[in-house]
């Protein structure tokens, strides 16, 4: 895959690398990796990561493009975006949208995000903070006043104002190449056609299956014998289309 864009996006790779290195308890190794990421010296980064790095995945140097997601289909979509001439930011947005369909428990339109974008030519780093924000009527003591230890995690008070779509839009205005709508179409197709129901989705479904809420029916239904295990999200498809 060749990406001629001048933007290299570390939006997932750097975070995963940092967490993996920290788990080794090696301060020196972590500092070296951080310096390599900031300087963009990928060969040096490769050498440092190969030194005592614990991972089942093989490491490599990718001089043109690399895609990392939690789902094969999302990775393929991002790869296709690059082949079509999209920037790394375009590919990241399309991958995030697809991940929101395949693994809605991890990210989606109702959440937020950070995005770090590195411009190779200028060596400039742009960081977008699009994390969720507290509603305007929130107060400093609202969780204490609720007298519920889980009020900040479950229920109406736990809901924040989403920022993901706005963050994607700002990133696209700055670094996007392909039309905005083109980045949504793969996720729309996945929501309409369905995606395989994997072990991660099953674990999530088991968690919510016992909850008696209206929201349950949007994500969980009884599987009859002989049916294909596919996740379909009609309401999400409609939202993405808008």
**Within its chain, how far is the Cα of 222 from the centroid?**
28
Give me the residue label for tokens 């993901």: 164
In what helix (H) or strand (E) does residue 144 lie, and over which residues does it extend? helix 142-145
Q: How far apart are CA 236 and CA 223, in angstroms?
A: 20
3-state class (DSSP) for residue 143: helix
* Residue pair 99/74 in contact by the 8 Å Cβ criterion: yes
* Residue pair 220/208 in contact by the 8 Å Cβ criterion: yes
Residue 235 in tokens? 């309401």
DSSP 157: G
* 131 labelled ligand-binding: yes
Residue 9 in tokens? 């996006």
In what helix (H) or strand (E) does residue 113 lie, and over which residues does it extend? strand 113-119
DSSP E strand boundaries for 121-198: 124-130, 195-196
DSSP 119: E
Residues 6+ apart with CB under 8 A from 109: 100, 162, 164, 165, 236, 239, 240
Extract the annotated binding site: 131
Residues forming the annotated binding site for L-glutamate? Answer: 131
């Amino acid at each position: 895959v060749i990406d001629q864009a001048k933007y290299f996006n570390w939006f997932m790779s750097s975070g995963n690398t940092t967490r993996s290195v920290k788990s080794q308890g090696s301060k020196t190794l972590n500092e070296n990796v951080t310096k390599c990421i900031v300087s963009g010296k990928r060969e040096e980064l490769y050498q440092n990561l190969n030194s005592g790095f614990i991972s089942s995945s093989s490491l490599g140097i990718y001089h043109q493009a690399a895609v990392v997601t939690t789902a094969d289909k999302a990775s393929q979509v991002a790869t296709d975006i690059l082949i079509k001439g999209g920037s790394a930011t375009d590919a990241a947005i399309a991958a995030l949208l697809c991940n929101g369909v395949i693994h809605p428990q991890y990210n989606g339109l109702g959440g937020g995000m950070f995005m770090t974008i590195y411009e190779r030519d200028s060596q400039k780093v742009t960081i977008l903070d699009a994390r969720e924000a507290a509603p305007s009527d929130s107060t400093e003591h609202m969780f204490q006043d609720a007298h519920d230890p889980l009020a900040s995690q479950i229920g109406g008070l736990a809901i924040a104002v989403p920022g993901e779509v706005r963050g994607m839009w700002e990133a696209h205005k700055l670094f996007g190449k392909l039309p905005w709508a083109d980045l949504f179409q793969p996720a729309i197709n996945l929501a309409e056609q369905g995606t395989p129901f994997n072990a991660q989705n099953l674990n999530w479904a088991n968690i919510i299956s016992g909850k008696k809420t209206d929201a349950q029916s949007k994500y969980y239904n009884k599987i009859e014998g002989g049916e294909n295990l596919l996740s379909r999200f009609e309401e999400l498809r409609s939202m993405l289309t808008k």
